[in-house]
Amino acid sequence: MSTSVTTRPTGKRYLGNRNPASMEVHDLTNEKAQCQVPVIIRNGHGVVFSPDILPQAHSEGFDNCRWCIGDSRR
């Protein structure tokens, strides 16, 4: 299950961008400038997952960010 965030999450590894045009999941431990995590959060599109694992993000319809995770399915 995902939960919206309004600030940069601490203690979480994955951040989803629920913008319908994106629906990507980002790995905060491997964040790249191209991920634009601050913009995602500022625009109200950030979500975290419970459990905080990549398969959970995938089960909710999020695709891998090509920059910080790779192997995008799009």
Q: CA–CA separation, 63 vs 59, rounded Å? A: 10
Residue 68 pLDDT > 80: yes
**What number of other Cβ atoms are within 10 A of residue 56's Cβ?**
18
Per the confidence metrics, is the pTM higher than 0.75? yes
pLDDT at 27: 98
Instruction: For the chain, give the longest Cα–Cα distance.
Output: 29
- Tokens 């203690």 correspond to 11
Q: For 7-47, write each residue's pLDDT tens digit.
A: 999 999 999 999 999 999 999 999 999 999 999 999 999 99
- Tokens 């629920």 correspond to 18
Domain ranges of the chain: 2-64
